Structure 1
Amino acid sequence: MTDLVFHSSDLPASERFAGWCELAATALIPATIESEHRDDFQASMRLRAHGSVQVSMVSCSALTSTRSSDLIRRSDPEMYFLALVQRGALGLTYADREVGLRTGDLLLYDSSTPFVGHMVTPTLWARKVLVSIPRTHLPLAPKKIEPLLGTRIGDGDGLGDLLSRLITRAAPPSSAEVAGGDRFSGALLDLLSVLLGHMAGDAPVPPEARHHALLLRIRAFIAGNLGDPHLTPQMIADAHGISRRQLNRLFQNEDLPVAAWIRQRRLDRCHRDLADPALRSQPVHVIAHRWGFADAPSFTRAFRAGYGVTPIEHRQAALRAAGPANTRNPA
């Protein structure tokens, strides 16, 4: 997966603002950009394609971006844009709506409606993650989505927070492990569809999207509760208002059944922490307990079965590879 990378510092100061305007028009959307900092403009962009969607990390000096009716007539890629504010503030005048967003807020708008957007920052640069989505790829009726455009999106059911985390993990230059391009775009579209359907009053959403969104919520729940030794398939089913049988069906197409999936996530966390030089003073059983293993012998057996070595052997090898200074007290 190759990133498109732009840094204004790579250009002479006199060319930076014009270079940014040209890049934004081709990589994002044609708009008229103005800034009080055009003589000393600072900006960067990293862009990454994930299947049918594009995720861009945008940082820049304060600016105003105007997409007029004339620009729309000349060029309309018919895209939805999902913006996640990461630093500073974002203001948008969209049709007859005005919205202000702060760090952590999500906003949905499109390329076919005139708007005026303001990226504001009191210090350093403003920063946002922008997800570009072809309109035809979102499986909801446009008349259901239209009232939500130009508004802050989210809900009280945790879907907005889950969507924000998914976007952040996929945004360059993040090196976090994410699904392959098509799988990531499918997960994002499914989760966004369910969230918008919920906000629109349970607009019809394909069953596959609801299935995928529920699976994402359950995975996030598991990740947040791995340290609880009482985390079981029944606990997960009860927390999400489904039966144990429904939970098992959700995991039918996954690599592992739900109980094995939990155990593998726990082993993965232990494997990582045991190799971390910063944690070398922590005993193996403490790390195992942190990730939900209550019994040291059963943890050792599971670790050996999964990785072919004992936890202590793995830790010693990892710390030797990290350097002599990290080999003290390896157990």
Structure 2
Amino acid sequence: MPSLAPLYRVVHRDLEAGRVLPDRAVVQREREEQQTRKALADLALAGPPMSEPCEGGAAKVAARQPPHPVPAAVAGVPSGEGGAVEGVALPAAARLVRTLSVRAVAEAVGQAMAAEGAVCVFGDPGRGKTVAVRMALHAVPPGWKVTWVPVPVRPSVPGMRWAVFDALALSGSFPHTSALADAAVAGALGEARVLVVDEARRLPVPCLEYLQSLWDHPDTRITLVLCGAGSERALARLPQLASRIGAWQEVPRLAGAEAADVMTGFHPLWRTVPAPDLAWIDQSCAHGTFRTWAALTAHLQNALLTTADAAIDRALLGRLFQRVAPPL
């Protein structure tokens, strides 16, 4: 039988040669605490300075914060915009209108850019979420770039990695290993950039974790914009990323009175329609959905151009309702 002294020496030697692994529960608790501090620091960026220095995520946010204030290109917006916006198709003679919802989206995106944070723009389909984001990012300040990342159908992490690589228009072919691809993407994201992910509702948890890893990378300077109907429900599947969202901006339906004002600014055709008829159109067909109003505008234009002696009345509008609304 060996004595205790050799046994102690053997145990001491093994402990010195190896590494004591921490308890998994302890590691998870520390990670969650760090994420909580990170989220609180994100929310406190626009408030008064903190009296004590923050640790962990807060220190990282302070290091990531760019020297820019809220960008004027997205914070201050005029009442209307006649110029074309990339990615937005309009009927002939139509004009973009900056509604209250568009102003709210511009403010949320501008504050996120100032803090290099994250924002979620959500709402029912057809309310103009993507258009509002494109209008907000139409003219970003010097030193900023905007990249729209298309979400593949049934996305996977390799597919998202490839989509981000292609959206950044990186030179050369796609790397043959994920480590090289991540290094190339992180290097390209080292400059101030807005990364917009539309149709974010398609993203499963692994893809959301990949986007979170890009945003958390110490060498990247990303403002993450997640947009689309149901994007708030997709983020609920990953609380770690949801806690980092600095602003949850919903795009509601156009109210009854607002719809008439917006449509008369949107297209000259609606300026010839009496206000009671505009309210009737919204109640009977459009229901405050901007996409339906835009489709109805295009059909009305075509009807007036192709039909002799056509007049904008309830009979014509009633026939056009059947083209823009599916049968129930």
TM bin (shorter chain)? under 0.3
Bigger helix fraction: 2
RCO higher in 1 or 2 (8 Å CA, sep ≥ 6)?
Answer: 2
Bigger strand fraction: 1
